[in-house]
Each structure stands twice: as C-alpha cells, then as structure tokens.
C-alpha cells in the first residue's frame, strides 16, 4: 500500500489543495491548473460540491489525476473512490483509514506532525506522509530535523505554505512535494479568473527540488 501514492507525489513539485464552491467550477479550475503544468490535484471533501467535482474532473480531463482531500474515515474514502478519486489525503492518521486504504486499494497520503506519528506509519510499512499543519507545526526547520532520525520517510508538507515558503521546503532531502491552496485562491476561483490561476500554477510548476 506504499508504492502507489509515490507516483502522484513525484509528478509535480506542488499539489494544489482545492476547495471547490460549486461543481460548475471544477473542470475549468482543473483545466487552468493543468494548463499551468499541475496535473495532480486534491479536491477537499469540505464542500457539498466536492464529490461531484471529482466525478466531473476525472470524467472530462483524462490527463489529470484527481485525489480526495480531508478524508477522515472509511465512509468518506469509499465515497471518494466511487466518485473516481485516484488517491486520498487526510490531515491525520487513523487505523480505520489505513485499513480502509489497504482493503479498498486506494492509495492514501496520511497526515502526521510528530516523530511518533511518523514511526507509526513506518511500522505499517508506509514511506510517504503529509506533514500537517506544516507552518504552525514548526515549518521547514522542524521537518528538516526529522530527516536524520527518520530517513525512510518522505513528506508532502501542507498548511500555511505559499510560493515563497515552498522553496524552503523543497530544499529538504525528505520533501517529495508541497501542498497548498495558494495556487487557487478562493477569490480567483469565485471570479472564474482561470488565466490568473494558470499563471500561479505555472510559477508553482517551475519550482524545483534543489
Ligand atoms: C489542507 O487541507 O491541506 C490545508 O487546509 C491546506 O492548507 P493551506 O490552505 O494553508 O494551503
């Protein structure tokens, strides 16, 4: 259950975290991001429209890999999978979610914020985690400190990251990509400013691990 998530995380340096207010916005938003070079997306299950957004994107944009975010339990994981999600992301980790991921065969990026939580994932054979909430939990300095004792784990830090701080995370040896909503700000999504979102995506896609 560890390898499949890797393919999604290594495709772009930035994983857009999307809060879709209405299903009509889903396809143009996803297309705007993909045009800018970000083809792996996370739709958070925080709005009524989220599952329909996943359904439409995976139906209409075959080149885009869409995952479900803010997946908190088995029921939501099943719903996301049924809607066509290619993977699931969670702010935290639970036995229920880890079991469900294995049983359903849906790759999971579980969240951790401490060494103990990270070790629990290693015990389960996982090698990739979301570091959440990255900024408030301690930022790049904190995550860097986990690299030496836990060299087998690689992280997608998310939470409070922007185009500037993304660079500091992408320098770390234990960072595979960074997640964030800055590439699709609520106001631009509400206005349907798709070209502006494409520009933000292009800048984000140009960030490199160094
Ligand atoms: C998440 O769900 O991963 C976070 O809310 C995204 O964090 P950000 O909005 O601070 O980028």
Task: Give the tens place of pLDDT for each residue, 41-78.
Answer: 999 999 999 999 999 999 999 999 999 999 999 999 99
Closest alpha carbon to 139 in 109, 178, 186: 178
CA–CA distance, 52 with 43 (Å, rounded to integer): 10
In sequence order, the 6+-apart residues with CB closer than 8 A to the CB of 30 are 41, 57, 61, 64, 66
ipTM: 0.91
Q: How far is the CA of 113 from the centre of ligand 1 (A)?
A: 14
Residue nearest to atom 7 of ligand 1 (CA): 159
Q: Grade residue 2 by pLDDT with cuts at 50, 70 and 90.
A: very low
CA–CA distance, 152 with 138 (Å, rounded to integer): 20
* SS3 assignment, position 65: strand
The pLDDT assigned to 4 comes to 87
Ligand 1 site, residue 160, Cβ cutoff 6 A: yes
The pLDDT assigned to 43 comes to 98
For the chain, the structural domain boundaries read 3-198
Annotated catalytic residues are 42, 130
For 82, what's the count of Cα atoms within 13 Å in the CB-facing half-sphere?
8
> With a threshold of 0.90, does the pTM exceed it?
yes
Ligand 1 pocket test, candidate residues 111, 157, 159, most atoms within 8 A of CB: 159
- Give the CATH architecture of domain 3-198: Alpha-Beta Barrel (3.20)
Residue nearest to atom 9 of ligand 1 (CA): 181
Mean per-residue pLDDT of the chain: 96
Residue nearest to atom 6 of ligand 1 (CA): 159
Q: Grade residue 208 by pLDDT with cuts at 50, 70 and 90.
A: confident
């Amino acid at each position: 259950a560890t390898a499949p998530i890797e393919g999604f995380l290594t495709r772009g340096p930035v994983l857009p975290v999307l809060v879709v207010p209405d299903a009509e916005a889903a396809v143009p938003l996803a297309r705007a991001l993909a045009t800018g070079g970000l083809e792996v997306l996370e739709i958070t299950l925080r709005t009524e429209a989220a599952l329909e957004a996943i359904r439409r994107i995976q139906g209409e944009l075959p080149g885009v890999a869409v995952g479900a975010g803010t997946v908190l339990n088995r029921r939501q994981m099943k719903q996301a999978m049924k809607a066509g999600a290619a993977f699931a992301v969670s702010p935290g980790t639970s036995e229920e979610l880890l079991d469900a991921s294995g049983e359903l065969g849906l790759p999971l990026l579980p969240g951790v914020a401490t060494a103990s939580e990270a070790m629990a994932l290693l015990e389960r054979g996982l090698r990739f985690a979301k570091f959440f909430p990255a900024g408030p939990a301690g930022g790049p300095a904190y995550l860097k400190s986990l690299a030496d004792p836990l060299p087998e784990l690689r992280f997608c830090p998310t939470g409070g990251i922007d185009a500037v701080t993304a660079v500091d995370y992408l320098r770390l040896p234990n960072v595979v990509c960074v997640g964030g909503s800055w590439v699709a700000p609520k106001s631009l999504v509400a206005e349907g400013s798709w070209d502006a979102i494409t520009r933000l995506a292009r800048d984000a896609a140009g960030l490199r691990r160094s």
